[in-house]
Amino acid sequence: MLIEDVKKSIADAGFHDGEKMPSVRKMAERLGLSVNTVHRAYKILAQEKLVQLVHGKGCFWGSAPSFEVKAEESVYSVVERQFQIEDRKSVV
């Protein structure tokens, strides 16, 4: 029953679609509950598609915002650029 109460409290909190929710730890502190209880409530809300859990980003109400993924520069291109810089220094 406690999990249902936590779910209801979170659902009634007025989060907007895509809004980042407090971490499990912060929510547990605010509600005076264990981290495990809040974590279970977040997982159930995710299973019910009310929140989105994004690894490394957090928990978002409704749909998670899209994150821009930037292509990482390859190690090879960094090393090649360094060689070119060093090569130009030796020519001058």
Strand partners, 61: 51
What is the Rg, in whole angstroms, of the alpha carbon atoms belonging to the chain?
Answer: 22
- In 10 A of CB 56, how many CB atoms? 5
Task: Give 59's strand partners.
Answer: 53
What confidence tens digit (pLDDT) does each residue in 20-67 have? 888 999 988 888 889 999 889 889 989 988 888 888 888 888 877 665
pLDDT at 36: 93
| Single pTM value for the model | 0.63
Instruction: Provide the token pair at 62.
Output: 């409704």
**Contact in structure between 20 and 58 (CB atoms under 8 Å):** yes
pLDDT of 69 > 50? The answer is: no
